[in-house]
Amino acid sequence: MGHTMAQYQYDLFVIGAGSGGVRAARMAAGFGARVAIAEDRYLGGTCVNVGCVPKKLLVYASHFAEDFALARSFGWHADNIHFDWRRLITNKNHEIKRLNGVYQRLLDKAGVTVITGRATLIDAHSLEINGATVTAERILIATGGWPSVPDFPGKEHVITSNEAFFLDKFPERVVIVGGGYVAVEFAGIFHGLGADTTLVYRGPLFLRGFDHELREMLADEMRKKGIKFLFNTNATTIEKLNGHFRVRFTNDEIRDTDLIMYATGRKPNTQNLGLEKVGVKLDANHAVVVNEHYQSSVPSIYAIGDVIDKVQLTPIAIAEGMALANTLFNNKPSRVEYNNIPTCVFSQPNLGTVGLTEEAAREQYGDVAIYKTRFRPMKLSLSDSEEKTFMKLIVDRKTDRVVGVHMLGADAGEIIQGIAIALKAGATKAAFDSTIGIHPTVAEEFVTMRTPA
């Protein structure tokens, strides 16, 4: 192979410096490959700039309203509380800039050439970027996804999550359209920071694909907080009136609002890259079609992350990037396992989950035992808050293996992460039962559930 490498400037050229692309580039370079990465927007991709990181910062910010209220039940008096949106956004932007720099340094240190600009494919081994032609033995498409908004009258008046992170002023009334992570999380953010918030979703209940019981309970908890829902509904038209917007819905209802945010899914970022021209096959949703080794229909072109639309999660893109670098440049053919992926919706309260939903477990195993508990957490016991925490274990009766774990409540993500390791290791219900709990914690409930529902 040695002698053919010289005919290309790079062994690997990565398009897109988000979570997946950066990890693949750094690891490949670490294995001795000559690597370049091109980015036309911002280092760190969606996650760092307009995704997980700023979203979680906004979630923290929005929870303080409840924390201040709760503090009173513990004897604290915080008077004259007010919120400054500008300060939050400025501090957030400052932190993101720092992270962009961290990514730049990581790539530099790994010996990856970073090129700012939009790369487009010319053929199976060459690209054009900033007017120059670059050649590479292998090309990796890691361009991620982009929010998608359907076409309808007044579409130009809506924002997506991209703009939500940079709003000049905080809106008093917000309508959010959508039913996935982003819609639900932003409903909690806007409401917690003081906006009158309505979530509109065309289906009967949000977070399709998650455990049904948890979805229903989360909707209840959010309603209790004062978030309004319009389910089985869609917006039909939006018009701009002096300083605000009027939204018409499929049920002929009309709402006036200051902001309309669409969180109606994300589409793979595959337009205008030259993919079709060089024969890279895309599916109906414009995602790059790849085999189990992330190879596209053109053997020298690979793709990972949101652009292949398999599982749209940052740690998955990173795992795919590592598997690819190991396979191509480290003589270690690797694949990502897509089962037992833990995840958390940073709703308020959080919804954390790993393994199968009850519906999926019944389908796959038939005979399952369900253990669950619902209670008011100790932290709220001195207050008049009625928020409930809910936890659920799903066990395959034949093997006693725990096949699904779900939690709705504070810090669900932190708690489920540890439990995910147990599921990966094949833990049985007996193993959970013989584990000593840490008292008093919420998490101990996972090892004290004794009777099936």
Which domains are seen in the chain, by residue range?
2-63+81-147+267-329 (3.50.50.60), 155-264 (3.50.50.60), 343-447 (3.30.390.30)
Contact status, residue 328 vs residue 300, Cβ threshold 8 Å: no
Q: How many CB atoms lie within 10 A of CB 162?
A: 13
Does residue 92 contact residue 54 with C-beta atoms inside 8 Å? yes
Calculate the alpha carbon distances from 302 to 22, 88, 124, 143, 290 in Å: 14, 39, 11, 11, 7
- Choose among 62, 244, 58, 255: nearest CA to 165: 58
Q: Is the dihedral of CA 407, 409, 412, 415 positive or negative?
A: negative
For the record, the structure tokens of 446 come out as 């996972």
Contact by Cβ (8 Å): 308, 288 = yes
Total Cβ atoms within 10 A of residue 216: 13
* Cβ neighbours, 10 Å, residue 193: 20
As to burial, measured by CB atoms within 10 angstroms (0-12 exposed, 13-18 middle, 19+ buried), residue 178 is buried
The residue annotated as part of the active site, out of 3, 77, 82, 439, is 439
- Furthest-apart CA pair in the chain: how many Å? 74
d(CA 113, CA 105): 11
Q: Six-digit token pair at 334?
A: 């690797």
* 104 membership: H or E segment, kind and range: helix 85-110
* Annotation says 82 is catalytic: no
Handedness of CA 66, 62, 242, 147 (dihedral sign): negative
User: By the 8 A CB rule, do 338 and 301 touch?
Assistant: no
Q: Which residues contact 117 (CB under 8 A, 6 or more apart)?
A: 38, 40, 129, 130
List the pLDDT tens digit at each of the 453 positions of the chain: 444 557 999 999 999 999 999 999 999 999 999 999 999 999 999 999 999 999 999 999 999 999 999 999 999 998 899 999 999 999 999 999 999 999 999 999 999 999 999 999 999 999 999 999 999 999 999 999 999 999 999 999 999 999 999 999 999 999 999 999 999 999 999 999 999 999 999 999 999 999 999 999 999 999 999 999 999 999 999 999 999 999 999 989 999 999 999 999 999 999 999 999 999 999 999 999 999 999 999 999 999 999 999 999 999 999 999 999 999 999 999 999 999 999 999 999 999 999 999 999 999 999 999 999 999 999 999 999 999 999 999 999 999 999 999 999 999 999 999 999 999 999 999 999 999 999 999 999 999 999 999
C-alpha span between 25 and 48 (Å, rounded): 17
Residues in the chain: 453
C-alpha dist (Å) from residue 32 to 11, 28, 111: 9, 7, 9
Q: E strand or H helix at 420, and its extent?
A: helix 412-424
> Which pLDDT score is estimated for 2?
45
